[in-house]
Amino acid sequence: MSRFALVLEYNGSDYCGWQRQKLQPSVQEAIENAICKLEPDFSHVNAAGRTDTGVHAMGQVIHFDMNKDWSSQTLLKAINSQLRPAKIAVLKSTKVDSDFHARFSAIKRTYLYKVIIRSSPLVFKRGLAWQIYKDLDMDAMTQGASFLVGHHDFTSFRSTHCQALSPVKTLDKLQIQDELLSSGKQYNFTLEAPSFLHKQVRSMVGTLVSVGLGNLAPRNIKQILVAKDRSKCGPLAPPHGLYLKEVCYNPDPFAK
Amino acid sequence: MSRFALVLEYNGSDYCGWQRQKLQPSVQEAIENAICKLEPDFSHVNAAGRTDTGVHAMGQVIHFDMNKDWSSQTLLKAINSQLRPAKIAVLKSTKVDSDFHARFSAIKRTYLYKVIIRSSPLVFKRGLAWQIYKDLDMDAMTQGASFLVGHHDFTSFRSTHCQALSPVKTLDKLQIQDELLSSGKQYNFTLEAPSFLHKQVRSMVGTLVSVGLGNLAPRNIKQILVAKDRSKCGPLAPPHGLYLKEVCYNPDPFAK
């Protein structure tokens, strides 16, 4: 028995999210079906994070056990070959110790949220960013974001269905960068934490965009945070702007 | 009667190219159908360049005549609204003089060709770049490209079906730039000329990629050019890496 870890990239548009569902296509099902073609008695994979319906990944990490002692590069190619034409790709593959766990061994997760400001419909980035028609106030959003960084009770920014034992988390980074596009402008929100609550990123980005639009003042972010009241949260940002960008481990199993 | 010019962006994947065909969906048909919803007796549009099947545009320019004296911004919004959910967007709209012609008034055309080097299947840029599995020699390609810039007989680099009266054209610019992607590397070929021959860009890029792969030497580009023989040309680059990026006029009708 050998344990493997993979880095996956996927376009979440076609899936009901990471987790296997009875009646809808999931990323987990697509991956497990691909691996089953290589070892028919294969059981299941474990992911670092369960991305919601429509959420994308540039760096989801999964682990699973195989009977055969595959070369990690042969396994990468074989799974990619079985996945076609799904918009899911294995970017990296490595053999890991039997105690490695994609979710529980992770020490840091990075999410990226993309907002595009433009008046015409999106063409090449349709379904890959949240389109907003009015420009955002970058200074106000950055000021609002500063209240969220650190060790806090994030009750106001988690889904009422969140199953985490505690709403207290440490947000290490919330950086907002803007870039000019050939048509329009893009804001990239980068968020880093050891772990996140359910819908925490989309709740925080949605509320910060309300600040950027002038519907909330930066100091309202502080008030919403200390209120510990979900009903005070701004609108949830849509799933299609969100990317699970990176999951980190120590030591890094993918380091060469 | 008022004449209008529009700048269009489109994903060519779903179309048989710009030009209207009897049995396949074309960009021209999609645009004309959208405008017909606004003025039912509307006849047709003229484009700056007839993009081939699968070729994209970031800056195609078209012109057409309308009975009603539309405000250009109202027209832009109305056409975009009628185009949904097609992956075609009007980026700019302006009223032009009755002697403006999208094709014949153009003084410069810019094409962009995207090549992505990566071993895993493309996910977010699938259908939007030419994927190559082995890295390219940038210096060799740049050296090869230098032979193509200038006033030449491009017979070796034009389709045998090309209807242009003369194979002599002036290529003002052929620049190659590389950028690192989160997974892989991208080469952007930017080509500028007053006008191009049919399949000239894809013929030149395909031949330069052969140089980048080491299948041809940079000096072979010079030999192929002076041979004036289509059979000497390297493989045609696929359509899905090509973008009609910009069409220029003097004066610029879209300048505010």
Cα(A226)–Cα(A143) distance, integer angstroms? 16
For residues A61 and A8, is the Cβ–Cβ distance under 8 A?
yes
Contact residues, chain A, for B80 at CB < 8 Å:
120-121
Count of CA atoms in the C-beta half-sphere (13 A) of A193: 20
Q: Is A114 domain-assigned?
A: yes
Its pTM stands at 0.95
Same domain, A125 and A72: no
pLDDT per position as a tens digit, B163-180: 899 999 999 999 999 999
Backbone phi and psi for residue B226, each to the nearest 5 degrees, phi listed first: -75, -20
Same domain, B85 and B127: no
> Can you give the CATH number for the domain in which B185 is found?
3.30.70.660
A121 contacts B80? CB cut-off 8 A: yes
Both tokens of residue A75? 């396994």
Same domain, B90 and B211: no
Which of the following is catalytic: A41, A52, A135, A139?
Answer: A52
Same domain, B118 and B156: yes
User: Which of the pair, B160 or B215, is modelled with greater confidence?
Assistant: B215
Q: Is B252 domain-assigned?
A: no
Is A137 one of the annotated active-site residues of the chain? no
Of A11, A80, A122, the CB nearest to B124: A11
- Predicted confidence band at B86 (pLDDT cuts at 50, 70, 90)? very high
Both tokens of residue A196? 């996140």
Residue A123: which domain range?
108-245
Backbone phi and psi for residue A221, each to the nearest 5 degrees, phi listed first: -60, -45
B123 contacts A87? CB cut-off 8 A: yes
Of A87, A123, A182, the CB nearest to B126: A87
Contact residues, chain A, for B84 at CB < 8 Å:
121
| Domain end call among B86, B105, B124 | B105
Q: Is A252 domain-assigned?
A: no
DSSP secondary structure code for residue A238 in this structure: P
Question: What is the model's pLDDT at position A229?
Answer: 96
Same domain, B142 and B219: yes
Q: What is the 3-state secondary structure (H, E, C) of B31-76?
A: HHHHHHCCCCCCCCCEECCCCCCCCEEEEEEEEEEECCCCCHHHHH
DSSP secondary structure code for residue A231 in this structure: G
Same domain, B69 and B93: yes
Residue A155 predicted with pLDDT over 80: yes
The total number of residues written for chain B in this structure:
256
Same domain, A119 and A204: yes
User: What is the per-residue DSSP string for A149-179?
Assistant: SEEEE-GGGS-TT---S-SEEEE-EEEEEEE
Question: What is the model's pLDDT at position A156?
Answer: 97
Residue A256 predicted with pLDDT over 90: no
Residues A71-78: contacts with CB within 8 Å, 24+ apart? A72/A4, A75/A4, A75/A38, A76/A6, A76/B120, A78/A38
| Percentage above 70 pLDDT, chain A | 100
pLDDT per position as a tens digit, A163-187: 899 999 999 999 999 999 989 999 9
Q: Averaged over A92-119, what is the pLDDT?
A: 98
How much is the mean pLDDT over chain A?
Answer: 97
Same domain, B158 and B217: yes
Q: Is A255 domain-assigned?
A: no
For residues B58 and B114, is the Cβ–Cβ distance under 8 A?
no
Cα(A91)–Cα(A60) distance, integer angstroms? 10
> Can you give the CATH number for the domain in which A13 is found?
3.30.70.580
Same domain, A114 and A228: yes
Q: Is B44 on the interface with A (CB under 8 A)?
A: no
Same domain, B157 and B215: yes
Q: Is B18 domain-assigned?
A: yes
Q: Is A256 domain-assigned?
A: no
Same domain, A112 and A233: yes
Backbone phi and psi for residue B151, each to the nearest 5 degrees, phi listed first: -95, 110
Contact residues, chain A, for B56 at CB < 8 Å:
124
Contact residues, chain B, for A123 at CB < 8 Å:
9-11, 87-89
| Domain end call among B105, B138, B164 | B105
| Domain end call among B53, B79, B105 | B105
Question: What is the model's pLDDT at position B130?
Answer: 98
Same domain, A199 and A232: yes
Cα(B119)–Cα(A73) distance, integer angstroms? 11
Q: Looking at the 3D structure of chain B, how many domains does it have? A: 2
| Percentage above 90 pLDDT, chain A | 97
B11 contacts A120? CB cut-off 8 A: no
